[in-house]
Amino acid sequence: MEDYVSESDSDYTSYWRDWFISSRGNEYFCEIDEDYLTDRFNLTGLNTEVQYYQYALDLVTDVFDLDCDDEMRETIEKSARHLYGLVHARYIVTTRGLTKMLDKYKKAEFGKCPRVNCHSHPLLPMGLSDVPNLKPVKLYCARCEDIYNPKSSRHAAIDGAYFGTSFHNIIFQVYPALIPAKSIERYIPRVYGFKVHSSAALVRWQNAKRDDMRRRLRKLEIETGFREENDEDEEEEEEEDMDFDAAEERLAITNTAAA
């Protein structure tokens, strides 16, 4: 975190928030509206979590005028960054905050999924805990529904509580059209073109379960959502199932008549 501390006042822009957002390593953050920062209701409870809370708030809102030495200034600066992060977690789940984060998401500013079968789907920042100083920020892919570490060490040092555990789910609740089609492709290990035995056994079990679920959904006339493969084989399996059911019915009638 010491990398973010400026060595002189000349490094500061006219607005603290502009400086913070433009600093290297803070690309995941969006700018919080001033009216949100100045509404004390939005800051409820943060005064007990941030050292030199009032000075830090004054610095974030650009009304800081305390004459202090460099060491004190550095401490207040650190508290200001922490305060901004905690407020940021609350702000990004508001209507305005979701809109700003959505713009960054569409531009893939948080990165792209490293999984090959997700085809570079954009990621969203998320936290594994809402309590500060426990877990660093992670990146969530809505396509494979898995989480990843940021590529850059600067981003990996960001506290996950500054984004919270709910934001990445709330944004898809508010914007359901953004929910991508789930990734149904999976890598199958092979040796000289032949499936590796243990993995092949698992794949056969998964395919059997998927085919069984597909047949049941079709009987209920529900769209399966699975990629259609070997349609002719599946139709033959369904015909065999129907013939088997018919044979069972005939056997039951025969047994009833004999009794």
Neighbours of 142 (CB within 10 A): 22
Single-letter residue type at 230: N
Neighbours of 157 (CB within 10 A): 14
Q: 85 with 101: CB under 8 angstroms?
A: no
Q: What is the pTM of this model?
A: 0.69
Domain extent listing, the chain: 16-178, 190-257
Please state, in angstroms and rounded to a whole number, the distance separating the CA atoms of residues 102 and 177.
12
Q: What pLDDT tens digit does each residue of the chain (259 aa) get? A: 444 444 334 344 458 898 999 999 999 999 999 899 989 899 999 999 999 999 999 999 988 877 777 788 889 999 999 999 999 999 999 999 999 999 999 999 999 999 999 999 999 999 999 999 999 999 999 999 999 999 999 999 999 999 999 999 999 999 999 999 887 788 887 888 887 777 667 778 888 888 888 888 888 877 766 555 555 455 555 555 555 555 556 555 555 555 5
Q: 135 with 150: CB under 8 angstroms?
A: no
What is the three-state SS of 156-196? HCCEHHHCCCCHHHHHHHHCHHHCCCCCCCCCCCEECCEEC
Q: 55 with 47: CB under 8 angstroms?
A: no
Please state, in angstroms and rounded to a whole number, the distance separating the CA atoms of residues 143 and 123.
9
Name the one residue in this structure whose structure tokens are 């508010």. 174
Length of the chain: 259
Please state, in angstroms and rounded to a whole number, the distance separating the CA atoms of residues 1 and 75.
12
Pairing mode, if any, of strands 190-191 and 146-148?
A: unpaired
Q: Which residues of 73-110 are buried (b: 16+ CB within 10 A; e: fewer)?
A: bebbbbbbbbbbbbbbbbbbbeeebbebbbebbeeeeb
- Given this model, what pLDDT does residue 31 score? 93
Pairing mode, if any, of strands 146-148 and 138-141?
A: antiparallel
- Given this model, what pLDDT does residue 130 score? 94
Please state, in angstroms and rounded to a whole number, the distance separating the CA atoms of residues 209 and 203.
10
Beta sheet of 138-141, edge-to-edge order: 123-126, 138-141, 146-148
The CATH architecture to which 16-178 belongs is: Single Sheet (2.20)
